[in-house]
Every structure is written in C-alpha cells, then in structure tokens.
Amino acid sequence: MPHALFFLREGPRFLPARRRGTQPKESASEVRNLEWFLMFELAVRLLLAGSAVLLSGLAVPEAFDTVWKASAVAAAHGAILYVLDVRGRRNPGVAGAAAAVDAALLAVVLGAIGRLEDFGFLVLAPAAYATVRFGIHAAAVAPLAAAALLGPGLAAARAEPSPKLLVQALAVLAVGLLLNQRRVSESAAFFPIPAAPPDEDGEEPSALLELRESYRQLKDQYRNLEVRARRDRLVRTLAEAEPAPGQSAGVALAERLRSVADCRSVTLYTLSQDGTRMVVQAVSGDPGGSLAERAVSVDVRDSAAAMKDKLHRALRSAFVDDEPPPMANVLLLERGRVVGMVHATAETEEALERAQIALEDAAPYLARRLSEDRRRAAFERRLRETELLYELSSTMSGSSTPNVAAARLVRELFPVLEVDHLSIHWVEDGEQYTASQAGARLRFLDAMSFAGGPGLAGWLAIGAPELAIFDTGEDARCDATEFLKRRVRSCCVVPIADGERLIGFVCAASHRTGGIQESQVRCLRALALELGRAVSRMVRGRSEPEGLMTPAEFRRAAAQCPEGAFVHLETLRQDALVEAFGRPAIEHALRKLAVRIRSRLPSGGAVCRRDEMDFVVLLPGLSESAATQWANEAATYASMIGLRTPDGSARIPLAVRARVAPLGSEEGAEAQAAAG
C-alpha cells in the first residue's frame, strides 16, 4: 500500500519521463515501485468491475446481464493494459485508445443501471487520467467519450436522448478540448561570435589560416600513415605464414588470417575457372553447416554490392536447422576483377566487426597472393603434365606392364591435381579392375545411373562418355544420399581407349564442390589418351611411327596401314585471316592446332600439316562411321579452343571443315596424294 500511495502522488510525473527516455538509468527501488503501481492499477480495475457486478445484482437485478458482461470486458481490458505496461508498449497512442474503450464501458454500465443522466460526465475520467499520466491528446479522445454517452450509453439504457444528457455530452466535449496539452515551443538562439583580433599589419589572419591548413594536412597524413602502417604489419604477418609438414599453403594462410582477425572461423574461396561459383580453397576453424565443402554460385556480371548480398544470403541458407552465427564476407579484387572471397564467422557482432576491419585491410594482399598461388599451381601442373606426356609418349621408360605404367602415372599426378581421390581402372568383359589409386578410397561410379542402367554397366551401355561433374548435388545422374555418405562433391571419369575399344578409365573425385575444374579435366583427358597409346604399344608391341609427321613420313605410314580412314581438315576463310592477322601469326596458330589435334588421335594415328594451311589425318583401324564421328568432334574442338597470336593480344577465330575418305577409295587416294 505505501508503494501504491507513492505512485498515486508521484506516478503521473515519473512514468511519462521514463518512457520518454529522460532518465536513462533507474534504481532498483524505482523499478519495484513501478511494478507495485502497475499491480495496484490492475487491482483497482478488477475491484471496480467486481463491485459493479455485485451492486447491480443487489440493487438493479434487471440490469445484471448487461453489467456483468461489460465488467468482464473491462477486466480483460485491464489485464491487456497491464501486459502492455510491463513490456513498455503503452505509449500515448495506445493509452488514448484505452481511454476511449474505458469511457464506452462506463457509459454502458451507467445506462444499464439507469443513472446515465445523473453521472454521465464520469466518462471523461479515463481521458483525464490518461492525459495526466501518458500525455495523450485529450482533444482527440473527448469526442469519442461524448459519443460514448449518446451511443453505447443510450443503447444500454434503451431511452431517447434527453436535454440533460445532451448538456452533459457538450460539457464532456468542451472540457476535453480545454484540457492542457503538452506543447513544444521553438525559439532561435543567438550566440555572440567573438570578433577577430584587429589586423594591424595584415600578416596575422593569413598566417593563422596557413597554420590551420597545415595542421589539417598533417592530421590527414598522420591518419593515412597509421592506416598504412597497420596494413603493412598485417601483410607482413600473413606473408610469414609457412605451411606445416603435410599442410597446404592455403590452409596455413587461413590459419594465420584467423589468428590475426581473432574470429571463430575463416574460409578462403576462389573463383572457379568458368566464373560461375566460389569454390572453397582452405578452411580454418568450424564455419558450421556444410560451408567447409560447399561452393556458392555467383554471377560475375553483378556489381560488387549485389554479389556480396547474394553470397551472404546463399551462405546463410546453408544453416537449415541451426541459427547461423554472425558472419561477414569480403570480396577479393585484383585489377577490378573478382578473384575470390573471405568468409568469416565470430561469436558476437562486436568480434565480427573487428574481424571484418582486419579482413578488409588484408583483402588486396590476399587477392594478389591467391592469384599468384593459382598461377603457380597451374604452371606446375602444366609442367608435370608435359613431363608425364613425354614419359607416356616414350612408352613409360622402365614400365613393363600397363599396371606399372598406371601406378607411376597416379603417383606422379596425384600431388599436382590437388584432388582427394585419383585412380585408374581397367575394363575387361564388362568388369572393372583397379590398377592403381591414391588418396581416399572412393568408388562413386556404382552410385550413378544412366539411360543404359545403373553403375558401370549403364555407363558402358551409353558408349562410355567422358563425365565431368563439378557439383554432384545438382546432377540427376548422381544418387544424392550415396554421394553425401561417400563425401563426393565433384568428380570426373575419363575413358582410356585403344582406337575404338575401351580398355579402362581414370577417376578423380573431391570432397569439395568445384574441387575438380576444367583445367584438371583437360590434363586427365590428355594423359588418358597418351596412356591408352602407351598400353597399346606395350601390349601389342607396336613400333610404327605416329603423331605429327612430315609429308614423306605420312605417305610411308599410309602405305603401311591396312585399314582405316583419312580425314581432311580444311581451314576456312584463309585469305581473310592472313589479311587480318598476318601469315606468321596464322602459321603459329596452325602449329598449336596441330599439337591439339595430335593429342586427340587414336593409337597409331598420324597428322600432317600442309603448306596450304590445312591438315590430313590418318586414322588406322577406324571404320568410316567412327572416322566421321572423330572428324566432327575435331572440327568442333578446333572452333572452340582459344588460339591466339604469338604475343597473346588477339584471339584467332579458326573454323575448320572436315571431310572423311575411307582408306583405299578414290577420295582416300586423293587425300594421300595431297599429303605428299
């Protein structure tokens, strides 16, 4: 009770100030007093509602039915207002609406017991109380209170409006309009400006201005120096990151970056070679969800802000069941082009803010570092690919069996490709036999289905095509459940053939989406082709020349070939190309094209580049239909590869037309004569 008496006296002054925020901190006693007052106000409302029901039942029984319903509504109304008060949601607007409801309920009770004409002015009491306590706009609530007299009140009384009631309604309206409102006054404040010191010799003001300008420039330079020094220290710390034994350079960089940013996890992404997704390069810490192995689709045509927003929403969508932690993404730009991204998570928003500042400072260095590492890895892969191709073309010196050749190839190639699984399998009578493998033991071909059926049999039934799947979760041929269990997010299968006969295939797989990219598939394709030739030489003991030949060598090879077909590849628009790029540039492009065509030759095949800027190809052992298919693929491949001028400044658009002639026919004799 002392708390209630305190708030009856001091509450109207204290409560509005609390909601306006003029008292930022309240003591524990003030909070307890507020709670006591809110309970006291609710108790008064319930007591009044119960008293109205009791008195109407004793004094006016015919009005009991209306009074108890109105009292029940009033009690529920009071409970709702109590909840709003406890949560701090009872603002002046809500208080005004509540006052109008209280006035209507009071008018109904007075009308039901027949005392509306005597005490109708009491409908103004809720509005007056709300004006004092919450500062409501009384002029807006007064018309509602007056309308409550003439509407719900008369309806409950079942009577016509009398002059006395009309006078009370006008009085309620007038008093409500005259209640004091909170007013805000504005006035202009003028502050005296100190007069400038007298300019006696004309030197002082200019010298003062120069001093201020020099101070401002010095302050800006100091701030820029401080930022540069912070970035230099950060870059030096990152540059000192050395990988531990068995650890990649990317993981070491992510570990050091996480230590510097002081965050929960750091994930480095690089843009895939086709520019369609961000691929996980290295992870430090636990990013949560499936982010450690998940690639994110991007559109490089979007602006940096739009790309960043899409990436943020895509990464948050990885948390299906759990609440995503605070996360930030920083794009890595090199010469205005997006080359990657850094994704960071933290425990709190404050820690994430500090980590994001450190990541943005390190972004230029990270972009340059990732690009250099990527170029270095590509160079090493091409160099190792060239060495392996040389070894394969010389029948793998020292290899006596196909299994030994496969084992040497897997051992040398696995560290360069940076995949989680690499294996070579031989196929015989529809069954596969593993020749060699490195990395995790992953067999995923049996978890795939094709038009010809499931597994290896289905793949062989459709002609054993090359498979390159960069995201197994989006490919209908992959069993999503099985691939998820085996942790295969990207994979490829490259057939190994001896002419038209399939003798095996190469498998590569990665735990990460996009872990296998187009450059790795090209490398496996070239090595599988050379491996097929090497196995053919080892098994059949072939010693005939093959590959690029001079016209004389080509004639001798064609004369010794018992069966097969010729393919004439004619370069279109030769005169226009020579005029546009010059003959030396076209000759350079044709030499590169000859090397590319040679890599696609079957075992024992030969290609001769003529001075007329075209090619004649010998395909031994191939039927006319198989040679036609090979010619169409070669013509399509020639138009798709990017041949450039010697300085690399321009791309030469080569278009090739292919014609096939069986060996021994008149067209074949003409092709053989044209090669000579």
> Terminal CA-to-CA distance of the chain, rounded, Å?
119
User: What pLDDT was estimated at residue 8?
Assistant: 38
Least confident range of 40-44, 125-129, 188-192, 532-536: 188-192
Average pLDDT along the chain: 77
* Mean pLDDT (whole number) for 384-408: 70
User: What pLDDT was estimated at residue 400?
Assistant: 65
Least confident range of 258-267, 433-442, 529-538: 529-538
DSSP for 234-268, please give it.
Answer: HHHHHHT--PPTT--HHHHHHHHHHHHHT-SEEEE
192-231 burial by CB neighbour count: b if 16+ within 10 A, else e? eeeeeeeeeeeeeeeeeeeeeeeeeeeeeeeeeeeeeeeb
Q: Please indicate whether residue 162 or residue 524 has the higher confidence score (pLDDT).
A: 524
Listed residue (445, 426, 436) closest to 406, CA to CA: 436
Amino acid at 74: A
* Mean pLDDT (whole number) for 530-548: 73
* Mean pLDDT (whole number) for 554-578: 83
Instruction: For residues 640 and 617, give the distance between their C-alpha atoms in angstroms, rounded to a whole number.
Output: 19
User: What pLDDT was estimated at residue 184?
Assistant: 47
**Residue in this structure with the two tokens 């007591």, named with its chain if needed:** 47
CA angle (197 as vertex; 191, 202 as ends), nearest 5: 140
Give the confidence band of 424 by pLDDT, cuts at 50, 70, 90. Answer: very high
User: What pLDDT was estimated at residue 28?
Assistant: 62
Amino acid at 459: W
Least confident range of 242-246, 357-361, 411-415, 530-534: 242-246
Contacts of 77 (CB under 8 A, 6+ apart): 45, 98, 101, 102, 105
Instruction: For residues 503 and 507, give the distance between their C-alpha atoms in angstroms, rounded to a whole number.
Output: 14
129-162 burial by CB neighbour count: b if 16+ within 10 A, else e? bbbbbbbbbbeebbebbbbbbbebbbebbeeeee
Least confident range of 3-7, 372-376, 589-593, 639-643: 3-7
Asked if residue 425 has pLDDT above 90, the reply is: yes
- Per-residue pLDDT of 134-145, as tens digits, reads 777 777 777 877
Give the confidence band of 662 by pLDDT, cuts at 50, 70, 90. Answer: confident
- Per-residue pLDDT of 298-344, as tens digits, reads 888 888 888 888 888 888 887 766 788 888 888 888 888 888 899 88
Residue 452: φ, ψ to 5°: -85, -5
Task: Give the percent of the chain with pLDDT over 90.
Answer: 4
User: What pLDDT was estimated at residue 29?
Assistant: 66
User: What DSSP state is assigned to residue 448?
Assistant: B
Q: Please indicate whether residue 266 or residue 241 has the higher confidence score (pLDDT).
A: 266
Give the confidence band of 22 by pLDDT, cuts at 50, 70, 90. Answer: very low
Residue 324: φ, ψ to 5°: -65, 140
Least confident range of 6-15, 45-54, 98-107: 6-15
User: What pLDDT was estimated at residue 491?
Assistant: 92
Asked if residue 663 has pLDDT above 80, the reply is: no
User: What pLDDT was estimated at residue 25?
Assistant: 45
Give the confidence band of 246 by pLDDT, cuts at 50, 70, 90. Answer: low
Give the confidence band of 667 by pLDDT, cuts at 50, 70, 90. Answer: low
Give the pairing type, strands 606-609 and 547-549: parallel
Least confident range of 273-287, 390-404, 533-547, 595-609: 390-404
What domains can you pick out in the chain, each with its CATH number?
2-178 (no CATH), 249-381 (3.30.450.40), 396-540 (3.30.450.40), 547-675 (3.30.70.270)
Give the confidence band of 264 by pLDDT, cuts at 50, 70, 90. Answer: confident
Own/partner contacts of 650-655, CB < 8 Å, gap of 24 or more, are 650/581, 652/577, 652/581, 652/585, 652/586, 652/589, 654/571, 654/577, 654/589, 654/593, 655/571, 655/572, 655/573
Q: Please indicate whether residue 574 or residue 400 has the higher confidence score (pLDDT).
A: 574
DSSP for 134-163, please give it.
Answer: H---HHHHHHHHHHHIIIIIHHHHT-PPPH
H or E element that contains 615: strand 614-620
Give the confidence band of 158 by pLDDT, cuts at 50, 70, 90. Answer: low
Give the confidence band of 236 by pLDDT, cuts at 50, 70, 90. Answer: confident
Give the confidence band of 641 by pLDDT, cuts at 50, 70, 90. Answer: low
Instruction: For residues 271 and 280, give the distance between their C-alpha atoms in angstroms, rounded to a whole number.
Output: 9
Question: 475, 466 in Cβ contact below 8 A?
Answer: no
